[in-house]
Structure 1
Amino acid sequence: MTARGGTAWDTWLVAGAAGAAGLPALHAAVPNGAGRLGSLLETFLPWPGAAVPVLVALALYARSRVGLLACTAPALVWCWMFGGLWFSPSPGPHDLTVVQHNVADDNADPAGTARALLAPGAGLVAVQELTAAARPRYEEVLGASHPHRAVQGTVGLWSAWPLSDVRPVDIRPAGFPASWRRGLRATVSAPGGPVAVYVVHLPSVRLGPAGLASAARDESAALLGARIAADPAGRLLVVGDLNGTVWDRGLRPLTAHLDAPGAGFAFSWPSALPVARIDQVLGRGVEVTRVSALEATGSDHLPVLARVRLP
């Protein structure tokens, strides 16, 4: 292989490979002060790996042995950090399935969306952005096979099994009105035994010139994390739109108490070109073995299907 362009190509390729490897591997070292740059990187953490095939193509074009060798670093880092999600074998049997979906408050077809949520045959269906106008459509469609329901504000849970101990969960950040109700807890009498289920919708984040505005979401996550830590339930699920990924340090006060799915990327947002899974099914005392994204509905999110194994 005769080099085309010599050391200039080598330098740029090595620099690109170092960035593609270093950003995910050293994401915790990125400061999260002004602009929440750390959280912003962690929202899209697997994506620096997309640079690897581009770098390989450039190295082949430049006939750069150094560049090709450098490409192994980000490839190995990606496999180390995310290979288990992508290449994991079949998770085996599961005890229950959960569908999670932010149905969007401007959804023009709530009945069609509800039918789509029933298609996988999940025993639990959790929704957010449930409006008063659309709620009767969801109750009509979901209630036929999931007669047990709990609704608090704009979040709801439909279950094939009885629900008990249903209560609101207050995760309002400071200054939010009492009408802002986005959390509930219920105990599901699942075939394998009772499971506490939280359905939540954390505040939205915004990306602007000053960076990622996530203070309200982070405060809400901390409030929810404290509730989870104090909950005596031996088996527990947190299901909802967390407006953040499992790698986002802004959610750490919550995710530190929960286990993430063992397999599946299940990018759920935005529905037109999904780049991040901000719709989550996380567990404690249970194993969420796999998550997968479902077909688009009338929402700007994709539904997420999770398979759960009970101990």
Structure 2
Amino acid sequence: MTQTDTAEETGQGGAGHRDTGSGIWRARIRRAIRVGSRPGPWKRGLVLAALALLLGLLMLLHAQITDRGGLGSLAETFLPWFGLFVPVLLAGALWRRSASAVVALLLPVVVWLNLFGGLLGDKSHPGGDLTVAEHNVGDANPDPAGTARDLAASGADVLALVELTPQARGTYEKELAKAYPYHTVQGTVGLWSKLPLSDTQPVDIKMDYGPLADTKPVDIKMAYTRALRTTVATDQGPLAVYVAHLGSVRVFPRNGFWTDSRDRGAKALAEAVAAEQNERVVLLGDLNGTMDDRAFEGITSQMRSAQGEAGNGFGFTWPATFPVARIDQILVRGVKPESSWVLPATGSDHLPVAAGISW
């Protein structure tokens, strides 16, 4: 190899190094352009931020949702579950590294905690002068005798049962007779008590089955009475007790979330409680709705939820296999709830509820 050839090779090598260097610089420039043109953390995830704000406003202004087709009631029935969208949106915000979406999520978090944060802790207190319980025993319950024995074992002083059928009524009366010497049944609702009862009368809650008429067994439709009022004689004085089973709600293609019968019943029940002369009142029943539902404003303006004041958690009762809503209620006026809890499942599609109250 000659000296000239070596020089040419060296020159070519130098040019190659120069080309490589310029390529590196070009790559750096392109990368810088890409970085410079990429949106910053406050501009990323704007759709997620908008969804977070919408979620917060939906919970904050739920009372303003139209109730056409029962939409407002449907949203309020499952309002606590709206909080599940928060971790979903948070995961999306972190994946997108979006500061705007993370900040926007503060709104639904604050609103949800304001609405339901008080239910998360245990607010129960020991003691209580009287234990009351309520259970929708289910018209299709395959084991009414077992259900009655389980309820008697709960130790409740006053026990309200709803959705009693003529076929099962005798079973409940027989199984509960030893623990509860006093009882009354009006239509499909009844009250069993360890203390004397008086002034018992049915309460007209304006039942109308509407689109559900064809789905109800004949014996249930014939027993039109679905609410009662009675007086329980306690050591502390008379206690007015209402037992109610408000109309069912359903989702229909034409009717939407059908709540007409339930809503009329809630209004009639609120009027009955408002006219009650006894200052101490307990309402037990399957109201087919949560206390967040606007349909119950007439009742919640007069009475307090035992679960809300003295419970531990949300106390969901329906359906029994995987409860998603508390539609079985214990409400009080003039007495203090000390504790509230959900009893173990029976053969019904609802879970029983109980509460300890004091004067």
Q: TM-score, normalised by structure 2?
A: 0.79
Question: SS of 1:239's equivalent?
Answer: strand
Does the 8 Å CA contact 1:259/1:287 hold for their aligned counterparts? no
Can you list the C-alpha shifts for 1:74-123, whole angstroms capped at 9, x where unaligned?
22111111111212543343222211111101100001111222333111
**Structure 1 equivalent of residue 199 of structure 2:** 165
CA distance in 1, matches of 2:349, 2:336: 28
5 Å matches for 1:59-208? 59-173=93-207, 179-208=223-252
Alignment partner of 1:248 out of 290, 293, 314: 293
**Structure 1 equivalent of residue 335 of structure 2:** 286
Deviation at 1:280, TM superposition (A): 0.7
**Structure 2 equivalent of residue 28 of structure 1:** 63
Deviation at 1:216, TM superposition (A): 1.3
Is 1:309 the counterpart of 2:358? The answer is yes
CA distance in 2, matches of 1:298, 1:88: 28
Deviation at 1:72, TM superposition (A): 2.3
The structure whose Rg is larger is 2
Question: SS of 1:281's equivalent?
Answer: strand
Q: Quick one: structure 1 residues 77 and 236, their matched pair in 2 at CA, closer, same or farther if it must change by over 3 Å?
A: same
Does the 8 Å CA contact 1:24/1:46 hold for their aligned counterparts? no
- The one-letter code sitting in structure 2 at the alignment partner of 1:199 is V
**Sequence identity, in percent?**
48
- The one-letter code sitting in structure 1 at the alignment partner of 2:49 is V
Q: Mind listing any 5+ residue stretches in structure 1 that lack a counterpart?
A: none
Alignment partner of 1:275 out of 316, 324, 336: 324
- The one-letter code sitting in structure 1 at the alignment partner of 2:238 is P
Q: Quick one: structure 1 residues 48 and 263, their matched pair in 2 at CA, closer, same or farther if it must change by over 3 Å?
A: farther
CA distance in 1, matches of 2:339, 2:302: 19
Question: SS of 1:23's equivalent?
Answer: helix
Deviation at 1:222, TM superposition (A): 1.4
Q: Quick one: structure 1 residues 79 and 174, their matched pair in 2 at CA, closer, same or farther if it must change by over 3 Å?
A: closer
- The one-letter code sitting in structure 2 at the alignment partner of 1:305 is A
Alignment partner of 2:272 out of 202, 205, 227: 227
Q: Quick one: structure 1 residues 57 and 91, their matched pair in 2 at CA, closer, same or farther if it must change by over 3 Å?
A: farther
CA distance in 1, matches of 2:339, 2:61: 26
CA distance in 2, matches of 1:219, 1:20: 30
Tell me which protein shows more helix as a share of its residues. Answer: 2
Does the 8 Å CA contact 2:41/2:99 hold for their aligned counterparts? no
Q: TM-score, normalised by structure 1?
A: 0.91
Aligned residue pair count: 308
Q: Quick one: structure 1 residues 250 and 221, their matched pair in 2 at CA, closer, same or farther if it must change by over 3 Å?
A: same
| Root mean square deviation, CA, Å | 2.4
Is 1:43 the counterpart of 2:77? The answer is yes
Question: SS of 1:196's equivalent?
Answer: strand
CA distance in 2, matches of 1:207, 1:7: 42
**Structure 2 equivalent of residue 214 of structure 1:** 259
CA distance in 2, matches of 1:207, 1:21: 26
- The one-letter code sitting in structure 1 at the alignment partner of 2:48 is L
CA distance in 2, matches of 1:165, 1:297: 31
Q: Quick one: structure 1 residues 213 and 126, their matched pair in 2 at CA, closer, same or farther if it must change by over 3 Å?
A: same
Q: Mind listing any 5+ residue stretches in structure 2 that lack a counterpart?
A: 1-34, 211-220
Does the 8 Å CA contact 1:172/1:181 hold for their aligned counterparts? no
CA distance in 2, matches of 1:217, 1:69: 40
Can you list the C-alpha shifts for 1:166-186, whole angstroms capped at 9, x where unaligned?
111122346997740111111
Runs of 4+ in 1 over 4 A off after TM superposition: 2-9, 174-178
